[in-house]
């Protein structure tokens, strides 16, 4: 008995996850299950049939998001100058992380750290950490090819991620400025890439 007739028929679990993210973006981590159900056009019981508890639901939300972001980052990546590749990475990172939905998930995960530490940790590994690791792989290759001088690629990747996200992630998590124009994204991406290249020039 779908409430919204003209909608694409997402599998129910997707709909629930989407609703959970949206509701938490609006009401914070303690958003009631009842409202998530309503938003998903589904009964509360159905959610409990799919995910046994709110904690399970939370974990599922976060994992899905992490995979989405990491996949996007691991996009084709045609052979280009390292500076281009870095700028591209930065662009994607900013666009996928600095927005209401990602923030909602981060906040939820962080609030949960005290009560369900394994979940929060898993999110860190599957999200930011995995994404930096894949950047580190790229840097390792560039280093071997002599296009960069980068003895500790993982650290360099973490530095780059920090430069790009640092300010915006903190601000967004604290509710100051969560919108970023394309121009801003572009400017930050290019500047960060350029500075990084100088810092790690051969």
Partner DNA sequence: TCAAAAATGGACTGACGGGTCCAAGATCGA
Partner DNA sequence: TCGATCTTGGACCCGTCAGTCCATTTTTGA
Shortest distance in whole angstroms from residue 5 CB to a second copy: 31
Neighbour count for residue 146 (Cβ, 10 Å): 8
Task: Reduce the DSSP state of residue 98 to 3 states and report it.
Answer: coil
Q: Does the footprint of a second copy cover residue 202 (CB under 8 A)? A: no
Residue of the chain from 72, 75, 121, 141 that contacts a second copy (CB under 8 A)? 121
Site string for a second copy, 28-67 (x = CB under 8 A): xxx-------------------------------------
Instruction: Select from DNA, a second copy, none the partner in contact with residue 7, using the beta carbon and a kind-dependent cut-off of 5 to 8 Å.
Output: none
* Tokens 């005290």 found at: 114
Phi and psi for 178 in degrees, rounded to 5? -110, -5
Please give the radius of gyration of the chain, using alpha carbons only, rounded to the nearest integer. Answer: 19
Map the footprint of a second copy across residues 6-25, applying CB under 8 A: 25
The residues of the shown chain that bind DNA, judged by CB under 7 A, are 1, 12, 30-34, 41-46, 48-50, 52-55
Map the footprint of a second copy across residues 175-194, applying CB under 8 A: 175-176, 191-192
If we measure between CA atoms, which residue out of 83, 96, 90, 72 comes closest to residue 188?
90
- The answer to whether residues 29 and 37 touch, using CB atoms and an 8 Å cutoff, is no
- The answer to whether residues 164 and 73 touch, using CB atoms and an 8 Å cutoff, is no
CA distances from 111 to 42, 50, 116, 183 (A): 26, 23, 9, 33
Instruction: Select from a second copy, DNA, none the partner in contact with residue 167, using the beta carbon and a kind-dependent cut-off of 5 to 8 Å.
Output: a second copy
The residue among 42 and 165 lying less far from a second copy, judged by its C-beta, is 165
Binding site for a second copy (CB under 8 A): 25-30, 106-107, 109-115, 117, 120-121, 123-125, 128-129, 132, 152, 155, 158-159, 161-167, 169-171, 173-176, 191-192, 195-196, 198-201
């Amino acid at each position: 008995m779908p409430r919204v007739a003209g909608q694409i028929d997402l599998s129910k679990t997707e709909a629930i996850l989407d609703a959970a993210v949206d509701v938490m973006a609006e009401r914070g981590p303690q958003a009631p299950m009842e409202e998530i159900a309503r938003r998903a056009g589904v009964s509360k019981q159905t959610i409990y049939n799919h995910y046994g508890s709110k904690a399970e639901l939370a974990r599922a939300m976060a994992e899905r998001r992490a995979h989405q972001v990491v996949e996007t980052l691991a996009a084709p990546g045609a052979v280009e100058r390292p500076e281009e590749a870095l700028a591209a990475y930065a662009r994607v990172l900013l666009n996928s992380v600095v927005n209401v939905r990602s923030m909602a998930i981060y906040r939820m995960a962080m609030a949960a750290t005290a009560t369900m530490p394994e979940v929060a940790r898993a999110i860190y590994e599957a999200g930011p950490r995995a994404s930096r690791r894949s950047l580190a792989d790229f840097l390792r290759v560039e280093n071997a090819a002599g296009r960069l001088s980068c003895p500790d690629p993982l650290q360099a990747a973490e530095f780059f991620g920090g430069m790009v996200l640092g300010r915006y992630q903190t601000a967004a998590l604290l509710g100051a400025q969560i919108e970023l124009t394309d121009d801003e994204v572009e400017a930050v991406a290019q500047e960060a890439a350029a500075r990084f290249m100088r810092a790690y020039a051969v």
